Structure 1
Amino acid sequence: MRLIPRALAALALLFACIAAAEARITRVEITETAPAFGGQAFGAAGAYERLRGRAFGEVDPTHPGNAIIQDIALAPRNARGMVEYETEIDILRPADPARGNGALLFDIVNRGNRVLLRLYNGATRVDNTDAGDGFLMRQGYTLVFFGWQPDLLAGGDRVRMSVPVARHHDGSPVTGTVRSEIVVPAAAPFVLLSSGNFTQQTHAAYPTASRDHRAPFADGFVPRLTVRTREADAREEIPAARWSFAQCPAGQAATPSDTHICLEGGFQPGRLYELIYRAKDPLVLGLGYAAMRDLPAFMRHARMDDSGRPNPIFREGMATLIHGTSQSGRNLRLFLHLGFNRDEAGRRAYDGMLPHIGGGLAAMNIRFAHPGRAWGEQIDHLYPAYDFPFAYTRVTDPITGRTQSVLDRCEATATCPRIVHAATALEIWEGRQSLGFTDPLGERDLPEPANVRTYILASTQHSTGADIHPTRLPAATLCENPSNPNTHLHTMRALLVALTDWTQRDRLPPPSAHPRIADGTLVRPDQVRFPSIPGAVFRRTTNPLRVLDHGPGYNAADLTGVIANEPPPEGPREYTLLVPQVDADGNDLGGIRSVGVQVPRATLTGWNYYRDRFGGGGFCNLQGSAFPFAATRADRERAGDPRPSLEERYPTREAYVGAVRQATSRLVAQRFLLEEDAAAMIAAAERDGPAPMRAP
């Protein structure tokens, strides 16, 4: 009879190993385990531990779920015919796992930088040593930070990933045309070839296939460096005699380099330099999506790895949630679009997703991709980031003729997660976010799938601090207008709790809240009724979008393939971009109107413009505007400001506090604000009263 328990134990071990093998994470090495945050306790969840290490994975390049990875067929294989990768992991978990809330929350780090504690806890550091106010810990989440972007350089405590270089089967290097838009914050004699606005000294450069930039390649191709002031300006070619593939520190002789470019007279800020060159050795970047898929599969289903090491956070019945901010949110949407939420065993990788300020898709599953680039009006305008499909709803695009949805693949395999999509007003103005909930020509609102909620955070910019009652405006030295301080931290907390309740307890989240064509809160830019505010600069423009022709090797339907046309020609027809209508103060009408919008002390917008950089006039990248109300009626009349002053709106401190109480009560009832944050907002209003917002 004793053989039965032993047989059962052996079977259990066998099934555990099978589960580990299916998950495709083959090995997890934890190199550091220590108390987190100095042993601080967080309510019912208690103290936290921090675990750091690496996860090693492998994928079958012939598996249908992996075949879509660009250049997977050109990646080196191990003895089992698998393609290997490894990723850094950083875990924060309750020291007593039984005190957690049963949810694994994965952070798709932004260019290697951890986001969760800064966004939800108000932490000022991104190295996981600052708990902020401890919100996520008090909630009991287990937080998993991991690398997924393989082209990051070491340094800055960035969380990184390693993948192989694609090579031809005969061992020769893979080459191709690369366009690098070079932007510098200060004058520099030489820079990395990858030095864009968001990639300064942080992203690896694709090496040039030849340092001799004057000698034509066999097909006649010759590298070319140009410069212009604004995106739409004509490119001025810089003579080949003035630049080279080299490092040339000031006062020193130039040293040839495969990954740097030297310019006579140096690169200057406020200019768009564009290098088109022949590069070699592309990384198999799409393996980053395999890591996003394989890690939750392992951590939720496998008790141990293939070598018998225990899964460091395994508990039965854990829910898996994933969060991505900005660039990470866009990659999260492409991960979903390409079908990676179905793991190799056919299971759902994530139960819930929260793409945050991440409109559009992303450019990572492309040969020689630049995943650190963005979608700006002036900066990174021509990089692939906004190919159709735009929405979670299946719709026909009259410009390309395709009928698609971001959810097509996961719906076909019944592996779609529940999605809370959150974006700011800036994503509508600068980031084309209206295409996520209208048809491509902006003629009608789209119905939404049952598993999706979309929330626009009214009158907010791309990112802000955590100040619950700002009295001093943040500096925006490059912009024409002061920057927008309206925080969305507290709204995001409420939305995360709603997503968790939805995935764990089937409690429906609040209805979607965003501007709509049907009720007049989503309009053309020339229809916005913005008040005439003294000193305010407002241009009724958006970030125009046309189809980009990247060449025959590029599959726009999946943002996948090989780009040949650089710079890409733009199609003749524009998509229709709509923006929020505003109230008499100039604050957005549609979406989630926070306390700072319902009880305003300023006009807060999702747009701002460069003062001098790039010729002035274009969108000041990722910045909103703030135009404070006058303190008194006399002040506003003297300035000619049509907006009522603070003293006219709130004749007493009690009147202001009462208005804040009413606004917080409404938001709590709508589940867009948590009780604890409402109490903090009321306390701040009692402390400060209707304090004017001052310049930095």
Structure 2
Amino acid sequence: MARFGFNPAVALIAALGYGIGFPTPAAAKLTRLEITSQQSYGTFKPGEFVWWQGRITGELQPTEKIPDLDKAAKNARGMVEYSAKISLIFPKNPKDGNGTLLVDIPNRGRVYAQALYNSPRDEPFESGTNDVGTGFLQDHGFATAEVQWEMGQGADLPTFIDSSEQKHFIEGVGFAIVRDAADFLKNATADTAGTANPLHGAIKHALASGKSQSGRYLKTFLYNGFNMAEGRRVFDGMHVFVSGAGMLPIMQSSTGPQSSATGAPDFANPEFPGVHNGVLTIGEIIKHVKDRGEKPPLMLMLSSTTDFYSLRASLGRTGGDGGTSDLPIPPNVRMYDIAGASHAVLPKAKCDLPPATLDWSPVSRATLLHLDDWVAKGTEPPPSRLMPLEPAGNNPMVLRAPSNLPKAVIQIPKRDADGNALGGVRLPDMQAPLGANAQQNPPLSFTCMLAGAYVAFPRTQADADAKHDTHRPVLERYKTRNDYVNLIRGAARDLEHDGFLLPEDAAVIIQSAAASPLWRTPAP
């Protein structure tokens, strides 16, 4: 495994905070919880849920290991203050919940929990929604918190003025905000002003969830020591989605107005700094955590097929030193590749090919319950399940390695003759496919490279001939609707048995297959 100290970009890493050293125990606290809005969220299996919105205010010791924090203005107690928006959805009687707090890390200010876990099959949620959807989180009793952390996205960060009168925003405080809020909701009775913690006595465990940018947030949060507060572990488990091999470059101060967390490498700017300049594998992160004497959280990490084409996800498995074999996965981590999944389901994306459509929220739901059981009961989740990879070579549809990793070998999933990825966690739609899922989608804009493409197979041989399509037609693959539905049903039951599909999601998938219009006789 590559060691951080030998990375050629070590100077940049130090500037971004990835090598900042061993943080001192946090002397920080939430000083105020102000709720500005309360409403009912609906009634679910445990009872009524409420939705509270407001702000939190906290303060930090200026000696905490956050770059430039000592330069910020101090309050009367000699502390540095911050504030941020917070949103809570929890049982009206908090003790009716399951005892788990799920802290969802917003992505560029957009909340994600409902899109990840409550998204319906036929109209997938995009980030930013607070719609109820399937109600999965609430039916299972989770209390959820959305804590804004990013500059310009609902978090008021400390600042300082340099010698040239330029204002700088101390972005690393974004990690402390989430740490302090989660620790407060998990452990505190009240804030220092006496406002009660609405979840006091109801929370036994805390999980964190983050997708893409906010998945990189969680890995960097953990690496830099923010999962400890006054000697306590903050998050017992982390659910990390489609984070590729990247980290988040906010352990620095900037002049704004844009957050340092907003950008990422893409085909137009493959050298974007800070994301692939430091640690790449979860093994490196966990080793760093253990070397500090901390107990790392239990982690489930999910990757999509398009992540390997557009986010260098293979480096999260092999490192960047030229190897092509997977490095050992720490025992507290499971990694699951979702075959045929796109980084995000974006049906309105303007790309050359139709955007990918595979609904992989069922795997999000099943694996969240596994993570909760692993934390609460010690019940181990399914073993890691990965897609086999092969070197991308000079494939122009694959994001190349950055110049700071000259030995890195970018790899992509192996595919079958239809163009579908092999191995990994295979939803029924992949076991009995009606098209090629998660193809790369020109023109390789930031949106299209993440959306991927779905290329439907021709329905009949006549359709194939008319379009010069060499794919085997649907009605030759599956002679009757029953043939198709039975294959979907068998795949669903197998995946349910393996722990990646819940019975209620299997029923929805089978029903959708049974209602497919492909076997209807076209109108004359």
- TM class by smaller structure: 0.7 to 0.9
- Pairs within 5 Å for 1:159-308: 160-168=154-162, 172-173=163-164, 280-308=166-194
Report the counterpart of residue 240 of structure 1 in structure 2. Answer: none
In structure 1, C-alpha distance between the alignment counterparts of 2:485 and 2:280, rounded to whole Å: 41
> CA 1:449 to 1:76, structure 2 compared with 1: closer, same or farther past 3 Å?
same
Report the counterpart of residue 500 of structure 1 in structure 2. Answer: 372
> CA 1:571 to 1:88, structure 2 compared with 1: closer, same or farther past 3 Å?
closer
Counterpart check, 1:418 vs 2:420? no
> CA 1:432 to 1:49, structure 2 compared with 1: closer, same or farther past 3 Å?
same
Higher helix proportion (structure 1 or 2):
2
- The more displaced of 627-636 and 669-678 is 627-636
In structure 2, C-alpha distance between the alignment counterparts of 1:317 and 1:51, rounded to whole Å: 17
Counterpart check, 1:513 vs 2:385? yes
In structure 1, C-alpha distance between the alignment counterparts of 2:77 and 2:397, rounded to whole Å: 55
Q: State whether residues 426 and 607 of structure 1, in contact with CA within 8 Å, keep that contact through their aligned partners in structure 2.
A: yes
Deviation, structure 1 residue 671? 0.8
In structure 2, C-alpha distance between the alignment counterparts of 1:316 and 1:572, rounded to whole Å: 47
- Pairs within 5 Å for 1:87-166: 87-122=84-119, 124=125, 129-152=130-153, 160-166=154-160
> CA 1:585 to 1:310, structure 2 compared with 1: closer, same or farther past 3 Å?
same
Percent identity, aligned pairs only? Answer: 32
> CA 1:621 to 1:639, structure 2 compared with 1: closer, same or farther past 3 Å?
closer
- Pairs within 5 Å for 1:66-105: 66-67=64-65, 69-105=66-102
Q: Match of 1:32, as an amino acid?
A: S
In structure 1, C-alpha distance between the alignment counterparts of 2:127 and 2:358, rounded to whole Å: 21
SS at match of 1:622: helix
> CA 1:544 to 1:302, structure 2 compared with 1: closer, same or farther past 3 Å?
same
- The more displaced of 497-506 and 368-377 is 368-377
Q: State whether residues 62 and 69 of structure 2, in contact with CA within 8 Å, keep that contact through their aligned partners in structure 1.
A: yes
Deviation, structure 1 residue 545? 2.1
> CA 1:572 to 1:494, structure 2 compared with 1: closer, same or farther past 3 Å?
closer
In structure 2, C-alpha distance between the alignment counterparts of 1:104 and 1:571, rounded to whole Å: 39
From 361, 386, 390, the equivalent of 1:489 is: 361
SS at match of 1:597: helix
From 34, 39, 54, the equivalent of 2:39 is: 34
After superposition, give the CA deviation of every residue in 1:453-509 in whole Å (9 maximum; x if it has no partner): 1111111211116xxxxxxxx3543x3322111121111111111111111111111
In structure 2, C-alpha distance between the alignment counterparts of 1:583 and 1:339, rounded to whole Å: 43
After superposition, give the CA deviation of every residue in 1:524-560 in whole Å (9 maximum; x if it has no partner): 1259xxxxxxxxxxx55421223xxxxxxxxxxxxxx
Q: State whether residues 461 and 624 of structure 1, in contact with CA within 8 Å, keep that contact through their aligned partners in structure 2.
A: yes
Counterpart check, 1:648 vs 2:511? no
Counterpart check, 1:599 vs 2:432? yes
The answer for unaligned runs of 5 or more in structure 2 is 1-25
Report the counterpart of residue 457 of structure 1 in structure 2. Answer: 338
From 636, 648, 661, the equivalent of 2:489 is: 661
Aligned pairs, number = 485
Q: State whether residues 491 and 672 of structure 1, in contact with CA within 8 Å, keep that contact through their aligned partners in structure 2.
A: yes
Deviation, structure 1 residue 644? 1.6
In structure 1, C-alpha distance between the alignment counterparts of 2:449 and 2:465, rounded to whole Å: 33
After superposition, give the CA deviation of every residue in 1:80-129 in whole Å (9 maximum; x if it has no partner): 22111111111000112222111100111111111111221127586665
Q: State whether residues 459 and 518 of structure 2, in contact with CA within 8 Å, keep that contact through their aligned partners in structure 1.
A: no
Q: Match of 1:609, as an amino acid?
A: P
From 315, 326, 338, the equivalent of 1:435 is: 315
Query: Quick check: which has more Rg, 1 or 2?
Result: 1
> CA 1:571 to 1:372, structure 2 compared with 1: closer, same or farther past 3 Å?
closer
In structure 2, C-alpha distance between the alignment counterparts of 1:76 and 1:502, rounded to whole Å: 43
In structure 2, C-alpha distance between the alignment counterparts of 1:72 and 1:410, rounded to whole Å: 26
> CA 1:28 to 1:22, structure 2 compared with 1: closer, same or farther past 3 Å?
farther
Deviation, structure 1 residue 637? 4.2
From 226, 230, 237, the equivalent of 1:340 is: 226
Q: Match of 1:592, as an amino acid?
A: V
TM-score scaled by length of structure 1 = 0.66
Report the counterpart of residue 15 of structure 2 in structure 1. Answer: none
SS at match of 2:86: strand
Report the counterpart of residue 324 of structure 1 in structure 2. Answer: 210
In structure 1, C-alpha distance between the alignment counterparts of 2:343 and 2:126, rounded to whole Å: 19
RMSD: 2.3
From 271, 274, 278, the equivalent of 1:388 is: 278
In structure 2, C-alpha distance between the alignment counterparts of 1:595 and 1:79, rounded to whole Å: 61
Q: State whether residues 78 and 84 of structure 1, in contact with CA within 8 Å, keep that contact through their aligned partners in structure 2.
A: yes
After superposition, give the CA deviation of every residue in 1:433-454 in whole Å (9 maximum; x if it has no partner): 1111113213321111011111
In structure 2, C-alpha distance between the alignment counterparts of 1:296 and 1:357, rounded to whole Å: 23
From 374, 379, 390, the equivalent of 1:523 is: 390
In structure 1, C-alpha distance between the alignment counterparts of 2:202 and 2:92, rounded to whole Å: 17
After superposition, give the CA deviation of every residue in 1:21-43 in whole Å (9 maximum; x if it has no partner): 9661122122222212xxx3112
Q: State whether residues 190 and 196 of structure 2, in contact with CA within 8 Å, keep that contact through their aligned partners in structure 1.
A: yes
Deviation, structure 1 residue 629? 0.6
Deviation, structure 1 residue 355? 1.5
SS at match of 1:34: strand
